[in-house]
Chain A
Amino acid sequence: MTGPVSLTTVFPGLVWAMAALALVQVLRRAALWRAGAAASVPWLSGLASLPRRYLVDVHHVVARDGYASRMHAVVAGGMLAASLLTALAILPPLGGFRPYWGVVAAAFGVMAAGSLMVGARRYPVKKPRLSAGRFQILPFLLLAYALGGTLTALLLALGAGGIALPFTLALAAAGGLGLAFEVRHGPMRHAAAGALHLVAHPRPGRFAGRPDTALQPLDLDAPRLGAEMPADFTWNRLLSYDACVSCGRCETACPAFAAGQPLNPKKLIQDLVAGLSPAEPAYAGAPYPGGRDAMGGRGALIELVGPEARIHPDTLWSCTTCRACVEECPMMIEHVDAVVSLRRSQTLELGALPEKAVGPVTELRQAGEAGGRPLAARTDFAAGLDLPVLAPRGRTDVLLWLGEGAYDLRYGRSLRALVRLLRQAGVDFAVLGPEERDTGDLARRLGDEATFQALAKANIATLAARDFGRIVTADPHALHALRNEYPAFGGRYAVMHHTAFLLELIRAGRLAPGRLSDVSVTYHDPCYLARYNGETEAPRAVLDAIGVSRVEMARSGRRAMCCGGGGGAPVSDVPGERRIPDLRMAQAAETGAGIVAVACPSCTAMLEGVPDRKAEIRDIAELLLQAVEAGR
């Protein structure tokens, strides 16, 4: 086995052995996924769209960090090309053709350069968001395989060899087999599980260009409600958590993590991985703020959430469901779905809601309104305004959905502005009055699917008895529920956010705003409008139409930071070191704008509650009304 001729077989054989080892490791991993519940996966379309999902959707996310994108192109591209070419060399005509080995050497050389890029992220100092542990060995394995491969291929190309070849080959084997071994527990798992996850993704709609963000309805007659243990997740969800590469992009985006609340999305996903796998190596990334020790059992049938379990309940209730982690995840993991599944089990099976959330959820169930206020009082904000109520079998163009913000004195001002704008534009509109119940958004985010479904069915029945063109609402949470989540229960409506509707009125010439040119505004995107519904342009277009000077915060649009008001976080009220709205207002202050424009009752309440505010909080409707009145 010393001559170059036999080595042209041994070297490709190494790559085949690597592939076999990687396959064994994947199969050992897959045995764990089989513990999960059944899921219907469109395999054929998933497989067919894998290249597109990887090259377009994943790349779109990865490319936000240009270095990571280039690094992957070089190291993964080089490795795939080099390994494939080497594997093909097992055919004698190729293996015996010396220039072919020159090409192989070049591919390995590219990979070697990429390996150095991988190492540069971790040595001498690791980027803080990355995990250490097994990930710290990765650059050495890559470099060993790449260098060993380059040298072996070069020697084969030159026809030289002799004494050096066994050593270069051994180096390549050490690196290559090490990489293949790491497919089970180590960093290379993200490549195998990630590719499979893209094929079997639980939300294929995400890759079809539409925001597939509605929570999936829970069958309330199912024997088990929500996820209490790993085996309660569907198998492709378990697979998706294995795809996590611990890059930590989610933790830099997470508002609860930034506020020092005990949530780190990366650790949460890694806890789901470790909870399933008894042999998982220790977690080596940033801990949950507060530094809780790893505890709790492991296995497919182990309880995941509890004061003594892997995930503390406070971790679960810190999430604002803002989807910032999902937006940033290059592996397309659905963190919020995981959180809500775990919450459903806590709420529906155990009644283990956070103490302060019990009241609002009880009122939602019993009174159809989280504050337990009379439904007829919802229109009190409009005292003195002419606000028509749509009776059963009545007809209107635009049904104005008021939402729970209507009870809030501050937000009532925004709604009054909206109503006056609609009057001004001569819109035929009406409200449901005392027939409007809460959409159930709060109950659903807190895991109380039973109350949500009851409210959804009641609202759908109310709406079915009335004739209207479309629904306009100023509350993105209501918008998301009505537009994206009610269809699963048979309610299909054209739902518009008030900013989009106002823009339509301006463009149709029905509103003629003047210009507020001496006002400087920064717009805060509501999560449920921007990330959940992809609407970031209409509010900005309205602001541009009234001529304010508009500045953007560092985090805006689909990557904006949450105000802290979603997902029941304000009622759960998990203590942290800082408050999320304070952080957001500090970001707004960096722009120097005098006004923070908002488009959501939750954002209004959260941001206006910040002490020592330098900027005013104004809804888009209020600014537009001011401009319209200035224009007269």
Chain B
Amino acid sequence: MRIAVLLSAGRHPVSGAPVLPRLEAQAIRLAVGLGEAHEVVGLHAGPDAAAVAEGLGQGLARIEHLTVAAEADPVPALAARLAALAPDLILAGRRGQGGPETGLVPYGLAEALDLPLIPDVIGLAPEAADRLSLDQSLGRGARRRVILGGPVLATVHPDAPAPLAYAYGRARRGAFEPVAVAPVEVSPGLAAEAGALPAIEERPYRRRPKLVKGAPAGGSAAERLKAATGEAGASAGGRLLVQPDPDEAAREILAYLRQVGVLAAPRPTDDPR
């Protein structure tokens, strides 16, 4: 199997030093963990390959570098290269880390290459007949196993196994391979749009107090706590259905959506019953 790991130029959240984002290092571990029989290649589109050099020390033997200007959209270049490589599995972090990050590159690639995208993967295992088993994290410890074949793009969740240790000797042995990129034609409309962007003001992030919606201003401390922890709110009244009948599940979802006001209440004539 051929696996491509997408690498981006990130920054350390505290020191600001240029580093390989942790999620992508975790993606490398997942890919390398499948075994030596699989070919794993890193792929970076950006002005400078040094930004992802750490990937070589953390398990990759080879990184392909597509030279793309710093502000340019990396998706066309990546899509062209991935179409040529035709990997069976493409791994990406679910978001960047400190660098130019939109969180949309995997989605853009999946669209451009017409691939299914499995988000938030925390585990990989090969299955029979060239199929793959991917474990997804659904949050709060919930997991879902997806088994599918064919080329697929997956993003990695922070709950995946921790990155491999950086090995200086491996980084030294690893290789960068510059890959020529066909100049991407930027449509004039898009360029004009980019030029017309309003000036952006950047400010350091400041943590703001969380506002609890609908919290009673008065009342006893116990009441305010109840309101804050949601024990009395709408979220307390959920219902857990285990493997429900699809019709029943659909009715439940519709009922919930109506309850929270997303859907209008049914008109009597529309009711099939």
Chain B residues within an 8 Å CB radius of A368: 15, 17
Q: A361 near B168 (CB under 8 angstroms)?
A: no
Q: Mark A326-352, 1 if CB is under 8 A from B, else 0.
A: 000000000000000000000111111
Chain B residues within an 8 Å CB radius of A426: none
Q: Which of B19, B59, B164 contacts A366 (CB 8 A)?
A: B19
With A225-B169, A365-B166 in contact, is A351–B58 under 8 Å at CB? Answer: yes
Q: Which residue of B lies closest to A359 (CB)?
A: B162
Q: Which residue of A lies closest to B25 (CB)?
A: A362
Q: Mark B153-166, 1 if CB is under 8 A from A, else 0.
A: 00000000011111
Q: A351 near B57 (CB under 8 angstroms)?
A: yes
Q: Which residue of B lies closest to A376 (CB)?
A: B14
A355 to B165 alpha-carbon distance, docked (Å): 8
A357 to B164 alpha-carbon distance, docked (Å): 11
A352 to B168 alpha-carbon distance, docked (Å): 11
A225 to B170 alpha-carbon distance, docked (Å): 11
Beyond the given pairs A355-B162, A358-B165, 6 more chain A to chain B contacts, judged by CB atoms under 8 angstroms and listed by A's residue number, are A361-B165, A366-B12, A369-B15, A372-B12, A372-B14, A375-B15
Q: Indicate if A589 sits at the interface (CB-CB under 8 A).
A: no
Q: Indicate if B167 sits at the interface (CB-CB under 8 A).
A: yes
Min CB–CB distance B22 → chain A (angstroms): 9
Q: Which residue of A lies closest to B12 (CB)?
A: A366
Which label, helix, strand, loop or mixed, suits the secondary structure of the A interface? Answer: helix
A372 to B15 alpha-carbon distance, docked (Å): 8
Chain A residues within an 8 Å CB radius of B19: 366
What are 14 pairs between A and B in contact, CB < 8 Å?
A: A220-B168, A347-B168, A348-B168, A349-B167, A350-B170, A351-B57, A351-B166, A366-B15, A366-B19, A367-B12, A367-B14, A372-B12, A374-B15, A448-B168
Chain A residues within an 8 Å CB radius of B164: 351, 358
Min CB–CB distance B26 → chain A (angstroms): 12
B119-176 residues at the A interface, CB under 8 angstroms: 162-170
Min CB–CB distance B3 → chain A (angstroms): 19
Identify the interface centre among A366, A368, A374: most chain B CB within 10 Å of its CB: A366
A362 to B169 alpha-carbon distance, docked (Å): 15
Q: A366 near B167 (CB under 8 angstroms)?
A: no
With A367-B14, A372-B14 in contact, is A352–B165 under 8 Å at CB? Answer: yes
Chain A residues within an 8 Å CB radius of B170: 349-351
A373 to B15 alpha-carbon distance, docked (Å): 8
Q: Indicate if A610 sits at the interface (CB-CB under 8 A).
A: no
Min CB–CB distance B192 → chain A (angstroms): 40
Q: A347 near B163 (CB under 8 angstroms)?
A: no
A348 to B169 alpha-carbon distance, docked (Å): 5
Min CB–CB distance B113 → chain A (angstroms): 32
Chain A residues within an 8 Å CB radius of B163: 358, 362
How many chain-A residues does the 8 Å CB contact rule pick out?
Answer: 28
Identify the interface centre among A351, A367, A375, A449: most chain B CB within 10 Å of its CB: A351
With A351-B57, A351-B58, A351-B170 in contact, is A366–B165 under 8 Å at CB? Answer: no
Q: Mark B5-20, 1 if CB is under 8 A from A, else 0.
A: 0000000101101010
A347 to B164 alpha-carbon distance, docked (Å): 11
Chain A residues within an 8 Å CB radius of B59: 351
How many chain-B residues does the 8 Å CB contact rule pick out?
Answer: 17
Chain B residues within an 8 Å CB radius of A451: 168
Q: Which of B14, B17, B58, B167 contacts A347 (CB 8 A)?
A: B167
Identify the interface centre among B15, B166, B167, B168: most chain A CB within 10 Å of its CB: B168
Q: Which residue of A lies closest to B17 (CB)?
A: A366
Min CB–CB distance A219 → chain B (angstroms): 12
Q: Mark A206-237, 1 if CB is under 8 A from B, else 0.
A: 00000000000000100001000000000000
Identify the interface centre among B15, B57, B162, B165: most chain A CB within 10 Å of its CB: B165
Min CB–CB distance A448 → chain B (angstroms): 7
Q: B166 near A362 (CB under 8 angstroms)?
A: yes
Chain A residues within an 8 Å CB radius of B15: 366-369, 374-375
Chain B residues within an 8 Å CB radius of A367: 12, 14-15, 17
Q: Which residues of A come within 8 Å of B, CB atoms?
A: 220, 225, 347-353, 355, 357-359, 361-362, 365-369, 372-375, 448-451
Chain B residues within an 8 Å CB radius of A372: 12, 14
List of 7 A-B pairs having minimum Cβ-Cβ separation, nearest first:
A351-B167, A450-B168, A367-B15, A349-B169, A351-B165, A353-B165, A358-B165
Chain B residues within an 8 Å CB radius of A225: 168-169
Chain B residues within an 8 Å CB radius of A366: 12, 15, 17, 19
A202 to B19 alpha-carbon distance, docked (Å): 38
Q: A362 near B14 (CB under 8 angstroms)?
A: no
Q: Mark B189-202, 1 if CB is under 8 A from A, else 0.
A: 00000000000000
Q: Which of A348, A349, A374 contacts B14 (CB 8 A)?
A: A374
A359 to B165 alpha-carbon distance, docked (Å): 8
Identify the interface centre among A357, A373, A450: most chain B CB within 10 Å of its CB: A450
Min CB–CB distance A95 → chain B (angstroms): 63
A361 to B15 alpha-carbon distance, docked (Å): 15
Min CB–CB distance A603 → chain B (angstroms): 28
B189-248 residues at the A interface, CB under 8 angstroms: none
A225 to B57 alpha-carbon distance, docked (Å): 14
A359 to B164 alpha-carbon distance, docked (Å): 10
A381 to B14 alpha-carbon distance, docked (Å): 19
Q: A362 near B167 (CB under 8 angstroms)?
A: no
A351 to B170 alpha-carbon distance, docked (Å): 8
Q: Which residue of A lies closest to B57 (CB)?
A: A351
Min CB–CB distance A599 → chain B (angstroms): 30
Min CB–CB distance B28 → chain A (angstroms): 11
Min CB–CB distance B171 → chain A (angstroms): 8
Min CB–CB distance B99 → chain A (angstroms): 14
Q: B165 near A347 (CB under 8 angstroms)?
A: yes
Q: B167 near A348 (CB under 8 angstroms)?
A: yes
Chain A residues within an 8 Å CB radius of B162: 355, 358-359
Chain A residues within an 8 Å CB radius of B167: 347-351
A248 to B217 alpha-carbon distance, docked (Å): 73
Chain A residues within an 8 Å CB radius of B168: 220, 225, 347-348, 448-451
Chain B residues within an 8 Å CB radius of A359: 162
Chain B residues within an 8 Å CB radius of A362: 163, 165-166
Min CB–CB distance A124 → chain B (angstroms): 51
Q: Which of B14, B57, B165, B166 contacts A373 (CB 8 A)?
A: B14
Q: Which residue of A lies closest to B162 (CB)?
A: A358
Min CB–CB distance B32 → chain A (angstroms): 11
A349 to B169 alpha-carbon distance, docked (Å): 5
Q: Which residue of B lies closest to A351 (CB)?
A: B167
Chain B residues within an 8 Å CB radius of A348: 167-169
Chain B residues within an 8 Å CB radius of A220: 168
Q: Which residue of B lies closest to A365 (CB)?
A: B166
A540 to B77 alpha-carbon distance, docked (Å): 68
Min CB–CB distance B253 → chain A (angstroms): 42
A220 to B14 alpha-carbon distance, docked (Å): 28
Min CB–CB distance A358 → chain B (angstroms): 4
Chain B residues within an 8 Å CB radius of A352: 165
Min CB–CB distance B194 → chain A (angstroms): 32
Chain A residues within an 8 Å CB radius of B169: 225, 348-350
A225 to B14 alpha-carbon distance, docked (Å): 31
A349 to B15 alpha-carbon distance, docked (Å): 26
Q: Which residue of A lies closest to B11 (CB)?
A: A366
Min CB–CB distance B6 → chain A (angstroms): 20
B1-54 residues at the A interface, CB under 8 angstroms: 12, 14-15, 17, 19
Chain A residues within an 8 Å CB radius of B166: 351, 361-362, 365
A449 to B169 alpha-carbon distance, docked (Å): 11
Q: Mark B69-87, 1 if CB is under 8 A from A, else 0.
A: 0000000000000000000
Q: Which residue of B lies closest to A453 (CB)?
A: B168
Min CB–CB distance A377 → chain B (angstroms): 9
